[in-house]
Structure 1
């Protein structure tokens, strides 16, 4: 009989303890928020390529190196800072042409160019074409004020999360309290323009408009856990 009473008392104590823990757990709500800022780009990263093909590996390599030399000299004459252009990839590949049933070689080099003044874009492209560049592998529009716009997006994301929490709390006849946890889920993405074959523009003139700049979307994504209460909390 004593054993039965002891077990009952033990279970009763455990249940009471569970109630105490549950009672101390604050009401919570977790929401996500997104902030967006649309801005016009003022910079661009251009990835260019020089490619030469032939049956002799040495001749193909020499031809490609000669073109790259012209490109780099042109970039220097264009007054681009050396830190704003860089070789990314250099290849010399042996390939097989199944139609002609013979091997050939392909030499290529990829260079990225950071252009901080979009008004010089057309002149740069024309000069690169004249220097022998035959591929544009892609361009990425950017803004020089990215940190400023990212900060604005984060503030908007927090406000958006707070508005969601207020909506849910109102529907539950509760009030939103202090933030208990904040997680930044933001991932930076740039909008690329995909690879295109470069076309000769030497006769087009630098006044031709060849870019549709549009806008860059700067986003922030945040998750916030708020305390919920039955009484309004003055923050």
Structure 2
């Protein structure tokens, strides 16, 4: 009886192993989809930084500068939802050589500008009102989600076209997709643009062009395994 049970166990294991190792005729290809679009908004992160020997005075000066910056932004008629302050800090800094403590106050304002024609005016005004550190300028598209979807579809079409090219000479056909892997990387596109003009320029009416926005390129990459019919 034990020999019979052992024999049946080995037989079932052999059958299962045979099923697991059965090869499925397939082809593995990579596909890429690209979509280009002009950005329609710019995200700006700018900071007011104030230093001094008296904590109270440093904080007061920094608050006054931020207040002036916010009033300027409001005068440009930006919607309240498109700007906000964050990262308020007041930190002591000890100088071991002079054996003195100074203070550093910072406050950051984040802005989404949806009218790119106001970019130069906004940047100049921010600096004039007290912004002394531009942390980030990123040109983006408000339609990024739909553009990413379009790029993914193009990547799948590209993968299928490649598979069909390869198997066409073999007299076979591309069947259903067996495995799909998304190899795309999430990133914040920043097209090349010229450096903005000096904020200290004497001629504020200068007509020189300072911004070359270019295009954002949205890319999707996939790996697909198709079953061969």
Task: Show CA shifts across 1:103-161 (max 9, x none).
Answer: 21100111111000110001111211221111111101111332342232112111121
CA RMSD of aligned residues (A): 3.1
Kept in 1: contact 2:173–2:228 (CA 8 A) = yes
**TM-score, length basis structure 1:** 0.80
Q: Distance in 2 between matches of 1:181 and 1:123?
A: 51
Aligned residue in 2 for 1:127: 125
Unaligned runs of at least 5 residues, structure 2: none
State TM-score, norm by structure 2.
0.82
- Candidates 22, 32, 35, aligned match of 1:34: 32
Shifted more, 208-217 versus 48-57: the winner is: 208-217
1:134/1:178 CA distance change after superposition, 3 Å:
same
Asked whether 1:182 is paired with 2:208, we answer no
Give how far 1:219 is off: 1.3
Structure 1 unaligned residues grouped into runs of 5+:
230-235
Q: How does 1:30-179 map to 2 (within 5 A)?
A: 30-98=28-96, 100-170=98-168, 174-179=172-177
**Counterpart position of 1:211:** 211
Q: Please give the alpha-carbon distance, in whole angstroms, between the structure 1 residues aligned to 2:105 and 2:196.
A: 17
Q: How many residues in Structure 1 have an aligned counterpart in Structure 2? A: 222
Moved more, 40-49 or 93-102: 93-102
